[in-house]
Amino acid sequence: MIRFSIPAQRLASALIAGAVLLSLAASPSHAAAKIQRLVSSGGIEAWFVQDATVPLIAMEYAFAGGAAQDPAGKSGVGNMVASLLDEGSGDLDSKTFHERLERRAIELSFSSTRDYFRGSLRMLKDNKDEAFGLLHLALTSPHFDAVDVERIRAQVLSGLRRDTTNPSSLASRKFLEVAFGDHPYGRQANGTLDSVPKIDVADMKDYVRRVIAKDNLRIAVVGDVDADTLGKLLDKTFGGLPAKASLTPIAEVEATKPPQRAFVPLDVPQTVVTFGGPGIRRHDPNFMAAYVVNHILGGGGLSSRLYREVREKRGLAYSVYQSLLWMDRSALFIGNTGTRADRAGETVDAIEREIRRIAEEGPTQKELDEAKSYLKGSQMLALDTSSKLAQALLQYQLDKLPIDYIEKRNALVDAVTLDDAKKAAQKLWGQGLLTVIVGRAPQAAAQPAAAPPRAN
């Protein structure tokens, strides 16, 4: 759970020591040359970059499992655990635990994503012992006191109720249902209004017992600490965890075959459109070609084809984007836009036409060259702080990439040919789209919303 009233989705841009962290630059080649595979005396492994530019340490870590391990009918267990691990542990109640974090400017957070239970820890170098000690308490002896559980449950339910009138939330939820059906990937990580009230302390303790273990743990650390000191900190923090996780097997799943369209009625002025379909897995040999051509279609911001067609030429939406999403057992491409209710049909048609065009024709050589140039240059910005570098190193481990991937990445981008890009475009978009539209019914979209009655 994120502290200091920072919404989870803004964590990357709202660090407690953000101003200092942003001063820590690390070029990809420099960072790659310093990446070490550290194994502590207790057998805890981490990818590690020692950097004394500023006296900070950033650690990212993940346990395989995540929301996919939530029991059937009780989606949201992992999310509740993530929200409660720092609500008191060991001999510290919730208030005291938070005071210890705030007094030392320690940032500690947890989250349950689709495949992983993830955590972040950031601190000043001088506060490392206390920071790692508090994390150890949170992971090994959480309280799950009734008063804290019910307070967090009320917060989660409040957010879920807000989501019932949020078109973007409804579109995302419905899209996953359409894409994955009853598979665990079709569930919402934060649960539902039906499931969250059913979650009890026994469910959360069982989740911790099954998921938080040493054999499914991956760690990345960047900052002002030497290898020997870090190894001892890792042993003290993670060494006492169970040796092996007890995960429920998750089946491989292919997203629903397009084309399909679903409509969710909601009386709002702006209609939200979420679209996508089966993607390309991270270990697929064609992944990099798909990544490059996706940038051309919808991932390149103001330069993307979808932006030009939907925003610049037709003025149908303020923004439109698309990205690749890969999981351990499946993959998607997914995009989103919002438009005026009476122009929703026109917007969907424009998106479908452009996607059909790139599937049939592929990109031009000029588009491919420009995309490759951008993607190589943007890597510098993607790794310009200790936190970003730690996040990247963790993700590379989760994706089972080699430790020198940062050095190899630009060569992989360069190796994508026009023929590769055309084949990837055909594979991604040749079948059409899964489309979810949330807004006013088509017959009502051409009319303004009814005005409220005037007071007499």
pLDDT in tens, 166-216: 999 999 999 999 999 999 999 999 999 999 999 999 999 999 999 999 999
Query: Does one domain contain both 186 and 329?
Result: no
| Residue 160 near residue 193, CB atoms below 8 Å | yes
Query: Has residue 154 been placed in a domain?
Result: yes
Determine the distance from the C-alpha atom of residue 225 to the mean position of all C-alpha atoms in its chain, rounded to a whole number. Answer: 28
pLDDT at 381: 77
Query: Does one domain contain both 210 and 276?
Result: no
Query: Is 1 strand, coil or helix?
Result: coil
Query: Does one domain contain both 373 and 321?
Result: yes
Query: Does one domain contain both 166 and 277?
Result: no
Query: Is 270 strand, coil or helix?
Result: strand
Determine the Cα–Cα distance for residues 66 and 121; give it in Å rounded to an integer: 18
pLDDT at 384: 83
Number of structural domains (the chain) is 2
Q: Where in the sequence is the domain holding 103, given as residue range(s)?
A: 8-238
| Residue 119 near residue 238, CB atoms below 8 Å | no
pLDDT at 303: 85
Query: Has residue 246 been placed in a domain?
Result: no
Distances (CA, A) of 32 to 49, 210, 262, 403, 411: 9, 34, 45, 8, 14
pLDDT at 379: 80
Query: Has residue 425 been placed in a domain?
Result: yes
Query: Is 283 strand, coil or helix?
Result: coil
Determine the Cα–Cα distance for residues 188 and 148; give it in Å rounded to an integer: 22
Position 172, amino acid: S
| Residue 241 near residue 217, CB atoms below 8 Å | yes
Query: Does one domain contain both 39 and 184?
Result: yes
pLDDT at 283: 95
Query: Does one domain contain both 33 and 113?
Result: yes
Query: Has residue 397 been placed in a domain?
Result: yes
Place of tokens 């002896």: 141
Determine the Cα–Cα distance for residues 384 and 42; give it in Å rounded to an integer: 32
Q: What are the DSSP calls for 321-369, one per residue?
A: EEEEEE-SS-EEEEEEEEEEGGGHHHHHHHHHHHHHHHHHH---HHHHH
* Ranges of residues in the chain whose predicted pLDDT is under 50: 1-33, 444-456
pLDDT at 443: 54
**What CATH number did the domain enclosing 354 receive?**
3.30.830.10
Q: Write down the pTM of the prediction.
A: 0.88
Query: Has residue 252 been placed in a domain?
Result: no
Query: Has residue 245 been placed in a domain?
Result: no
Query: Has residue 147 been placed in a domain?
Result: yes
User: Of 100, 105, 72, which is closest to residue 86 (Cα–Cα)?
Assistant: 100
Determine the Cα–Cα distance for residues 318 and 208; give it in Å rounded to an integer: 43
Determine the distance from the C-alpha atom of residue 392 to the mean position of all C-alpha atoms in its chain, rounded to a whole number. Answer: 12
Residue 72 zone, left/alpha/beta (φ > 0; ψ -120 to 50; rest): beta
- pLDDT tens string 12-40: 333 223 333 333 333 443 444 489 999 99
Query: Has residue 195 been placed in a domain?
Result: yes
